[in-house]
């Protein structure tokens, strides 16, 4: 079991949270700073429009990005993987999102402080 610390990105629950979380994670994945609120919204809307064609393609379909969805285990407080997408294209440096339940997603950022378990 690999230890990994995850920090939530504070994505608002505005009906675009999954897409905003993926857009946020895509920026973090390539080393960019977190996008502004308006840029998150713009990227989320663009990504949502592309869902019909291919959910895993982003930024003009130049990169395929694996996405890992986590949920917090109620008993331990640790994060557990509940879904993985695009793993056939590579497992390194996935975009990480946290599913809170009730239809809300948030962005997760990896940090070097290892206090939570990835299962």
Which positions ≥6 away from 6 have C-beta within 8 Å? 70, 79, 96, 98, 108, 109, 110, 111, 116
**Annotated catalytic residue within 17, 27, 96, 106:** 17
Which of 27, 60, 104, 113 is catalytic? The answer is 104
Is residue 14 annotated as part of the catalytic site, yes or no?
A: yes
Catalytic residue among 14, 32, 73, 113: 14
Tell me, yes or no, if 17 is annotated catalytic: yes
- Active-site residue list: 14, 17, 104
């Amino acid at each position: 079991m690999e230890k990994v610390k995850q920090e939530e990105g504070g994505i608002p629950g505005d009906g675009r949270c999954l897409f905003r979380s993926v857009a946020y994670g895509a920026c973090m994945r390539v080393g960019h700073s977190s996008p502004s609120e308006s840029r998150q919204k713009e990227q989320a809307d663009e990504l949502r429009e592309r869902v019909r064609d291919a959910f895993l393609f982003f930024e003009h379909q130049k990169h395929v990005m694996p996405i890992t969805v986590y949920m917090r285990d109620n008993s331990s407080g640790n994060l557990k993987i509940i879904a993985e997408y695009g793993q056939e294209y590579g497992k390194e440096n996935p975009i990480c999102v946290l599913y809170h339940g009730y239809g809300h997603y948030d962005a997760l950022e990896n940090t070097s402080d290892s206090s939570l378990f990835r299962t």
